[in-house]
Amino acid sequence: MEKKNDSEKSKDDTKKKLKKRSWNRRDFIKATGVTVAAGIGAVFAPGIGKASVWPRSLRNMESSGQALTTLPEWKPYPYKVIPLPVLDAKIPKGFFTYLMDYDKVIPIYVGAFFIEGVKGHNILVDSGPTKKDFAAKGYPCKVIKPMREALLDATGHHPEDIDILILTHLHHDHNPLTSIYKNAKVIVQKTEWNSMHNPPACFRHLYNPEYMMGVTPTFVNGDVWNLVPGVSLLFTPGHTIGNQSVVIDTKLGRLIISGTCCLEENFNPPENVKQFWPDALVPGLHIDSQQAYESLTRIKREADFIITPHDRKSYDRGAGPTPKWPKLGSRRTSFGMYRSDAPKSDYTSID
């Protein structure tokens, strides 16, 4: 009789164990497949593998201008966005227009945005800037209204009334007043928080961790559907590692506050540059030009209206959107068999 080697003995032992449990090869493959499928489901569908912590988020592994929308269907909520201009400043236009216009200096506004009409919540996007911070960076500016005054005059609220503060990113002009919102849940992308403490060397000067001292943030990872009904977060990296934009459903359509620092022409390039940038003009300040381009095209594809955080036009128009606002976005409501406006339910809410 031919003697079996160790490998053959091992195979025989495995067969005996399977036979003892009344499993055949088909049963084994089926069970293995279910396990693998469950594992994949846990990665791509939060809540399947285990209960998700609030808020449920879908990690946007790769932003792509060709991907279908991941957002819930648009619904006509009675929301408006109130701009809060705080500083009037001047900076090189090239900060916003990659490879262009570095010889031009343009006026900008720096401020924050309040989402009006959300039942049970006072939501602010970005903390508002300070003149002291801008002066320390060497940027000339003048105060339009201090943040506390701008918030009170436009909304009737004090900083203590804000219960949700969404930080688009942690550059010095977007988060220096975070600590004054004592009762707010401060929402920031986990990757952005990590980036603030270990920033890309060439942009180290744009971060100041001291502004977040004493703040306990609520971390999110990627897209967040319905943070509250009709308000979602869109992961839009490129300008910074953990950049996010805020999606607000209004009666007139879907409005997105771009977390990327840019101008309206970034979403609608002038005719003379469309041969280079036909869909979107990459912002001048970015950590990844390809990511920044894909994020801008994603915002444009998902939005009807777009607010750009430093463009004066976004502040001068006042609360909106209104029928007179330009539609910078190109939101599609159908993709063949897929309809983004089809009825859906069970999106996560903090209520």
Same domain, 277 and 211: yes
Same domain, 34 and 88: no
What is residue 316's predicted lDDT score, i.e. its pLDDT? 94
What is residue 26's predicted lDDT score, i.e. its pLDDT? 47
In a domain, 260, yes or no: yes
- pLDDT-derived band at 14, boundaries 50, 70, 90: low
Q: If DSSP codes are grouped into helix, strand and coil, which group holds residue 157? A: coil
Q: Model confidence over 292-334: pLDDT tens digits?
A: 999 999 999 999 999 999 999 999 999 999 999 999 898 876 5
In a domain, 321, yes or no: yes
Among 64-68, 100-104, 106-110, name the most confident range. Answer: 106-110
In a domain, 61, yes or no: no
Same domain, 26 and 85: no
- pLDDT-derived band at 4, boundaries 50, 70, 90: low
| Contact partners, residue 156, CB within 8 Å, separation at least 6 | none
- The CATH number of the domain holding residue 118 is 3.60.15.10
Same domain, 19 and 97: no
Same domain, 157 and 296: yes
pTM listed for this prediction:
0.76
In a domain, 49, yes or no: no
Same domain, 112 and 19: no
Same domain, 182 and 324: yes
Q: 106: phi > 0 → left, psi -120 to 50 → alpha, else beta; which?
A: beta
**Domain count of the chain?**
2
Residue 98 has a CB neighbour count (10 Å cut-off) of: 21
In a domain, 53, yes or no: no
Q: Model confidence over 171-225: pLDDT tens digits?
A: 999 999 999 999 999 999 999 999 999 998 888 989 999 999 999 999 999 999 9
In a domain, 51, yes or no: no
Give the residue numbers spanning the domain of 30. 6-44
- pLDDT-derived band at 19, boundaries 50, 70, 90: low
